[in-house]
Structure 1
């Protein structure tokens, strides 16, 4: 299976574009954003768990990164409410489940072998730092040899300077509306921009976005 597998192309998926697909687990649906592979795949996915649903125990051969968007996600290590950012490196194992239901943004098989730190961050309690322009604040989440990950909060009316993305950029809009010269992106929108792409982003109403950069260069070269 190949979904948005050409990493040299810009991709935008808004909430009205979602098509939910049943997973092998009862009560668990997926909106596949990009994917190379079948059930075991390099994948970026929005996963929606119904109340009292679960996945069987499994090992992350390529690592797992996820952000809880709604509800509370749980596994043997604890409960992770909305706003939790979790990294499970290559070789980790768990059995995810939820009592009341949850939705997560998850990325699989995208870890560098040297990236071995397992951790979680409660982003709703963490302190943001001032960004590069007035109105912008940043919460760094992770830096590895192949990627930088952060949450970025835009105050209403914030404008950023035009810039180019070395290694590409991936954005998920968590709250509000993000925009650039190409369009407007409400909460729930996923964007992927290729290596050396350029834009001039802004937000009139304010927004909160998940941003990953630098991780698409190897995919284009491949």
Structure 2
């Protein structure tokens, strides 16, 4: 299965384009934002758990990154309400579930083989935020190949995505505009190497998830080799 699989091209999925499809587990649906592969895939998705639904215990050979968007996401390691950021490194395993229901943003098979970091950050904690370049930033992860953060933007502020190696953005609150294209909450954008359009917060401001540096040819080749 190939969905937005040409990483040399810009990709944009707005909420009106979300197509929820069943997963192999009852009560769990997903919107596939990009995907290379079938069930074992390099994938970026929105995943929705109905109340009292679960996924079978499984391995993450290529790692897993999660941002909880609503409800409470759980596994045998803990319970994570909306706003929690999780990283499960390559080789980790868990059995996720949700009692009340949840929607999460998930990235699979996109970590480097050397990434051994387990990360748990509550982005609702004011102490997790700092002031950078005139805006509030919540750093989530940083390595030689990727930088991940949340940014809170005042009206008219631009997203700081200073990377020649591609960027990816999910609008969490408020809205932004990219080259005149409005992007409401739930909009997902992926920018290839060298593509740096102006992305500006609307009149109500915006909060966005931002990942940069991970779409270089070297990083993509390495994560593909891990999956092989």
TM-score normalized by the length of structure 2: 0.91
Q: Would you say 1:195 and 2:193 are equivalent positions?
A: yes
Q: 2:110 is matched with which residue?
A: 110
Partners of 2:122 and 2:130 in 1: CA distance:
15
Q: Which moved more, 1:113-122 or 1:96-105?
A: 113-122
Q: 1:151 is matched with which residue?
A: 150
Q: 1:171 is matched with which residue?
A: 169
Task: Give the C-alpha shift of residue 57 in structure 1.
Answer: 0.2
Task: Give the C-alpha shift of residue 160 in structure 1.
Answer: 5.8
Could you give the per-residue CA deviations for residues 114-155 of structure 1, whole angstroms, max 9, x where no partner exists?
1101121000114322221x3x21111001232100000002
Partners of 1:221 and 1:108 in 2: CA distance:
13
Number of residue equivalences: 219
Q: 1:119 is matched with which residue?
A: 119
CA contact (8 A) 1:75 1:94 kept: yes
Instruction: Return closer, same or farther for 1:160/1:213 CA change in 2, 3 Å cut-off.
Output: closer
Q: 2:226 is matched with which residue?
A: none
Could you give the per-residue CA deviations for residues 41-97 of structure 1, whole angstroms, max 9, x where no partner exists?
000000000000000000101000000000000000000000000000011110000
CA contact (8 A) 2:165 2:213 kept: yes
Partners of 2:105 and 2:220 in 1: CA distance:
25
1:56-71 matches, within 5 Å, as 56-71=56-71
Q: 2:224 is matched with which residue?
A: none
Instruction: Return closer, same or farther for 1:124/1:160 CA change in 2, 3 Å cut-off.
Output: closer
Partners of 2:2 and 2:153 in 1: CA distance:
34
Q: Would you say 1:84 and 2:84 are equivalent positions?
A: yes
CA contact (8 A) 2:214 2:220 kept: no
Q: Which moved more, 1:181-190 or 1:24-33?
A: 181-190
RMSD: 1.7
Structure 2 alignment gaps of length 5 or more: 222-228
Partners of 2:220 and 2:94 in 1: CA distance:
33
Structure 1 alignment gaps of length 5 or more: none
SS of equivalent to 2:128: coil
Partners of 2:178 and 2:57 in 1: CA distance:
41
Instruction: Return closer, same or farther for 1:6/1:113 CA change in 2, 3 Å cut-off.
Output: same
SS of equivalent to 1:16: helix
Partners of 2:195 and 2:213 in 1: CA distance:
12
